[in-house]
Copies of this chain bind each other. A is one copy, B any other.
Amino acid sequence: MAKEITPRVNDYSQWYNDLVIKTGLADYSSVRGCMVIKPYGYAIWENMRDALDKAFKETGHVNAYFPLFIPKSFLSKEAAHVEGFAKECAVVTHYRLKNDPNGKGVIVDPEAKLEEELIVRPTSETIIWNSYKNWIQSYRDLPLLINQWANVVRWEMRTRLFLRTAEFLWQEGHTAHATPAEAIEETEKMLGVYTQFAEEFMALPVIQGKKTANERFAGAVETYCIEAMMQDGLALQAGTSHFLGQNFAKAFDVQFLTREGKQEHVWATSWGVSTRLIGALIMAHSDDDGLVLPPKLAPLQVVIVPITKGADDMAKIYEKFEPVMKALKAKGITFKFDDDDTKRPGFKFAEYEMKGVPVRLAMGMRDYDGGTVEVARRDTKEKSVQQFEGIVEYIENLLVDIQANIFNKAKAFRDANITEVNTWDEFKNQIENGVGFISAHWDGTPETEEKIKELTKATIRCIPLNNPQQDGVCVFSGQPSKERVIFAKAY
């Protein structure tokens, strides 16, 4: 099966699409730009969601659900926000169909036109702050720490499975605070939650930073982000956390009575990650034989493949594994005993390899008699023969080791592919002939940033947090600079 996957060196983009389609993560749909998330892909999303949801709740957040539709006029209330989203909105204009009087099928009933059009939410700041107006009266109502799991729609012109789709699934946190300091603390805290999730669960090293003004979320005062490097050296923004200042509180006139008895506008944050993370997960770790999934997010962690010549042998091996399966279940390790006798072991091996199952156990009758089992790990493709006794602990440790190894490999690759450049020639050469991120001085102006983007397609991915301060000159303008920023081409 793995033969059907285009190798990365031939066509990285095709390799990615092959993986998504052939491993059953997702499928194209008949609706432009919308994908179907198939069961295997959705199971990864469920694992991501559960881990994130737990982290959100542990940091004091609760979930809620707000309407899918946003009245058109709400979007306009925050000037930068509407500017950022108006060009890619799905607009509901009617609420009824009727039979076509001229033929078969149905047509939109012109008499069922909405007085005010509704926008399918591209993000929910406006509809949520319209509710917060009624929920917040006094400092006692703050902070308000709410998250929403939802679908959103942005009518992107160019779409790619998981990475950029018209509809996607995500979570969006929307919090309200009494002071800017507290809101900024929340913004940074949630960036930390995302970082920990990316590194510990996705095995994906990320750079935490702030976006430049050009790259900020529409309506934000400050946008924080985590940026990851894919195997082709391109950057992928894996999560954002925004300090919104009082912009939305002012747009929706959300004021609160302070402890001192004054009326003040509330301070806000919002933060989100989406199904795009599944795209990042694939592109960061997988290889030409298929997916490489970190154990903490793999829908299936261990597969057991018996190699037998008949039902008797199958029953013997199954019986031998029964206590192992019981122990794995008790430890919360997911597994499958594949007793399908219509497929040969070699076919199964290739299939589970392609699907990125972290650990494969195989047992034939020689192993059975000798008290051994063959263990294959997906990340390094190493195979070894292990004693059957103690195999549960072996697997448990192996999963931890695989998780760490996938992270370390990605981190080594990332660290080896951040290049410091000091002149415009170096910059251009690196963009044209090199791979990965560029660390370079920039004069801090949007003009220089845009010019560089125009000339090279590289954007400033972020100004890293805790960035070392050093005197330098902008690679493009030669103007003085106090710190390096990260440039890259990006997904």
User: A residues touching B (Cβ–Cβ < 8 Å)?
Assistant: 27, 29-31, 34-39, 42-43, 45-46, 62-76, 82, 86-99, 104-106, 108, 117-120, 127, 130-131, 134-135, 146, 150-151, 153, 155, 167, 169
Contact = CB atoms under 8 A, between A and B. Distances in A.
B89 A95 contact: yes
Give the number of times this chain occurs in the complex, counting copies: 2
- Chain A contact residues, majority secondary structure: mixed
A300 B172 CA distance: 24
Nearest to A74: B30
A131 B29 contact: yes
Contact of A39 (B64, B117, B134): B64
A66 B38 CA distance: 8
Given A65-B36, A71-B31, A76-B105, A92 B95 contact: no
A38 B144 CA distance: 12
A82 to B, nearest CB: 6
Contacts of A135: 27
B67 A31 contact: yes
A69 B31 contact: yes
A34 B131 CA distance: 12
A91 B67 contact: no
A489 B85 CA distance: 46
A157 to B, nearest CB: 10
A34 B106 contact: no
Contact of A120 (B68, B70, B87, B88): B68
A134 B27 contact: yes
Contacts of A37: 64-66
Contacts of A71: 30-31
A118 B64 contact: no
Given A29-B67, A87-B98, 14 more contacts: A27-B134, A30-B130, A31-B69, A31-B127, A36-B66, A38-B64, A42-B63, A45-B65, A75-B97, A76-B105, A87-B97, A91-B94, A91-B108, A92-B120
